[in-house]
Chain A
Amino acid sequence: MGQFFKLADLGAIAPELELILWGMGILIADLIIKDKKKLGIVAIVGLFVSGIFLFRLNGVEATAYGGLLVIDQFANFFKLIFLVAATLAIAISMKYLDIERENHGEYYALILFATMGMMFMAGAVDLVTMYISLETMAIATYVLVGFLRSSQRSNEASLKYFLLGAFSSGILLYGMSLLYGISGSTRFIDIAEALSRRPLNDPISLMAMITLSAGMFFKIAAVPFHQWTPDAYEGAPTSITAYMSVAVKAASFAMMVRVFMVAIYPMRPHWVAIMAAVSVMTMTVGNIAAITQSNIKRLLAYSSISHAGYVLIGLIAGNQTGLIAVAIYLLIYTFTNLGAWAVVVALKRRDVIGEHIDEMSGLFFKNPVAAILMLIFLLSLAGIPPTAGFIGKFYLFASAIETGHNTLAVIAVLNAAISIYFYLRIVVAMFMREPNEKTELTYSPALLTVLAVAFIVTMFIGIYPDPFISMARLAIPAGF
């Protein structure tokens, strides 16, 4: 264990520490600065500074705080995803919040706090750290979901999300307490050791594994724990929906990889079976429910549910290919999905909800660039080459086939084929229907930048994925 607190450990958490301080700074500055958009820019600068600290930790392999946290390439890879997601989310928020007349400094501070929580989640190798960082992220997100104070929908979404989130955290804690009871330690490696000494069918271990998994499945909105998602995603401010759908999901997956691949790895035969069933249900229910939606936010919410189902395949495979697939898929999904949400955000104008699929009708004639970008993002979500989404799906399917999960792979690809139907429905509206007077976009330079970045990365990874694959490979060394 060694000395619990060392000054050098502060360096290990410099990126997170910087975000806390910066977020507090924004809260103070909020009292002075009247133009809240400036605070958004300040927050983006804060994220960049955090990125610089993160960059300095590149290649460092260390544990900090007596084994509560680790610094490794895996954590760094995911931390980068969170910083990127937060930056892009803030960039699409500034104009949007003005339109909603809810532009407050707390919004940006909360995003920084949530991001900080996620970054700790990626490095947590101890139940306590994991839980605290998870709750840090979750509480900040609950508030953000309900940020449109005057909107009943937003308040309802926040409350639902909060109640179900608290409930699932309870279940998660229950599993954690059982694990502590079994092993007498909160550290993942000790837990793994204790579990491996018990028989595989030990009822207490099973109970711990099941409750822990249920809590985790709630966080990634896997079926049958997905009920909160469409409501929360629909009610939340669109920019927060975008942020949640990529960052919260990526953080939860980072945590899941550590928990399932380290802490309860000895129980793998059991959890693989559960996870395979959950994955199939998640993909199928997500896709089939998405087909019937006519609200874009709900449609993309169900689409994001199905994507969580795909990502689970990587964990089920559980080998290096599978975990690389998880990492690369989440990276790609961050850019692609934020790009798609950015277009939805642009549809929002004062007093117009801008969420019905019809409101995209003829977008191509009024605004060809936005329509073409949206097309690229949708093709990427559907997994059609030469976009990044195809590379991600390809990796996931490959990992399933490599490890002999052939039936799962077949179900997954058929789901991918089904998903094309509802993504193309948006394309049909944009390109093949006559425009109506509602189809106008609200742009800001920041939003355009987000669109451009998302587009470039989506196409680049699609055509030349090798640098990103190498990056993910570094994050996940063989025998993770």
Chain B
Amino acid sequence: MDFINSNILTIVTFTPALGALLLLFFPRSRAKTARNFALIISILAFLFSLHLVAHFDSNASGFQYRTDRAWIPSFGIGYQLGIDGISLFLVLLTTLLTPLAILASTRIRDRVKEYFLFMLLLETGVVGVFCSLDLFLFYVFWEVMLVPMYFLIGVWGGERRIYAAMKFVLYTMAGSVLMLVAIIALYFLNGKATGAYTFSYELILAAIHGGKLVLEPATERFLFLAFFVAFAIKVPLFPFHTWLPDAHVEAPTAGSVLLAGVLLKMGTYGMLRFSLPLFPNMSHLFAPFITLLAVVGIIYGALVAMVQPDMKKLVAYSSVSHMGFIVLGIFSFTPQGVEGAIFQMLSHGVSTGALFLLVGVIYERRHTRLIEEFGGLAHRMPLYAAFFLIVTLSSIGLPGMNGFVGEFLVLLGTFGVNKPRGVVAAAGVILSAVYMLWMFQRVIWGEITNEKNRTLTDLVSYEKAMLIPLLFLIFWMGIYSNHFLRPMDASVARLLSQTGKREIQYAVAPALQP
């Protein structure tokens, strides 16, 4: 058991990469076999990742399932993996969404083998980011994941795919190279202060909190901003969001699902894992400014989403709005806000993933995503309409579904520390109801106005298979939210003690808090 526990993260991370390697040797003519193989590999990775939940100790605040080996000892670089309550479900979200995205790619006809190869490599990169406990390793995974996504958009995307793919890479790179400088600077600062030259996240963190490594305010400011900009571009936080609509619109369905579902979470995860505990002073100093950007993003994203004629673009802008909530929650420095933010990360992954899958379903039938092309789909596709309704309501944040819990906790955490921000953000919830329901109304309700829609067929079995797990999660997360919040408690408490949390006393304990 010890052997499994100390290697399980390696297995989960590299199973997809191994699958990708094997895919290389598949003959080009056997497209269907390649797809089934990729599906099996990704399901396998998912099953392995279930081990993580099954044996997770919810009371421990530290990292679990640790792996620690030397990698490049001459530079103090280790192969260190581990997860805590913050990253646990993000790993699972990735391993769950990948097989669903592969299912959604059933109708890919072009260069099938390479498509699934990149898909699996992407999964390895993302899981690696969530598991790395060594800053160098983290950066490697962070960059590795760029290449497959670039190809998924650039080769299998829409008309302006090359432009969108290039924009995606350049934006991300511009942010992440600065993070590289900050990582190296942190390495030398820590080495000079403590004598131990290492890229280990935990050792550097311990040096900072043990008072051994004291950063000058100017240095800390630079380091904080270098990390933060990399993460903010990824989230994307307003005004760094302009790459997102392009990437989403041009990406194939599966690409959008993974992009919105997990790639964006890498940004907010980075803020939680690195920005807050490593640079607590600057986090607090910049929090008013960051939360302001988050609130602007919430409202701006919602307003822009409202006027989009293209369904995918609408969902993309809604992501800008929803991701704003997450950043808002993180920088409230309250247990409710942070847990709400993490919950919202998962919940947004599920709901938006489902939304992109749903848009993909009708796109494959009609090869258009314009809202005006549709209308009255409920007549021809009743099951689809029902699924769409559930996902729409979940995205709006209807109580009893996943979206509500996260947004509620974030708002709760924010109200305590900054009422005006909380009030404005709450208005974003209302706006989200407007654009989502309006789209739903125009697409699903009414009479069939476009003759082409008369021949549409309802969901087929593989489409049901990819949607049902997400619908199930929507309710599970909404009703038994404690199953998801409880494992986070200890880690979030530790995170906030490292960041210096703001204590707010509530007269009545929030109902959703365990």
Contact = CB atoms under 8 A, between A and B. Distances in A.
B166 A431 contact: no
A379 interface: yes
A397 B187 CA distance: 12
A469 B166 contact: no
Contacts of B144: 384-386
Interface in B143-191: 143-144, 146-147, 150-151, 154-155, 161-162, 165-166, 169-170, 173-174, 177-178, 180-181, 184-185, 187-188
B184 A466 contact: no
Interface stretch (A157-165, A304-312, A412-420): A412-420
A397 B180 contact: yes
B140 interface: yes
A417 B147 contact: no
Given A413-B177, A420-B169, A424-B169, A384 B146 contact: yes
B112 to A, nearest CB: 13
Given A402-B188, A420-B169, A432 B177 contact: no
B505 interface: no
A384 B147 CA distance: 9
Nearest to A462: B140
Interface size class of A (residues with CB under 8 A): 20 to 34
Interface in A449-470: 465-466, 469-470
B162 A414 contact: no
Give the one of A397, A413, A465 with max B CB within 10 A: A413
B121 to A, nearest CB: 11
A401 interface: yes
Contacts of A410: 178, 181
A406 interface: yes
Contact of A432 (B72, B161, B174): B161
B154 A432 contact: yes
Contact of A385 (B143, B154, B178, B188): B143
Secondary structure dominating the interface of B: helix
Given A431-B155, A473-B74, A413 B146 contact: no
Contact of B181 (A401, A431, A466, A469): A401
Nearest to B182: A401
Contacts of A390: 140, 143
Secondary structure dominating the interface of A: helix
B472 interface: no
A417 B170 contact: yes
Given A379-B147, A385-B140, A432 B162 contact: yes
Give the one of B73, B136, B180 with max A CB within 10 A: B180
Interface string A253-292: 0000000000000000000000000000000000000000
Contact of A431 (B136, B139, B154, B177): B154
B173 A428 contact: no
A466 B155 contact: no
Contacts of B74: 466, 469-470, 473
B109 to A, nearest CB: 15
Interface string A469-480: 110010000000
Give the one of B147, B151, B173, B174 with max A CB within 10 A: B173
Contacts of B180: 394, 397, 413
Given A397-B184, A402-B188, A420-B170, 6 more contacts: A386-B140, A394-B136, A394-B180, A406-B181, A416-B177, A469-B72
Interface of A: 379, 384-386, 390, 394, 397-398, 401-402, 406, 409-410, 413-414, 416-417, 420-421, 424, 428, 431-432, 465-466, 469-470, 473
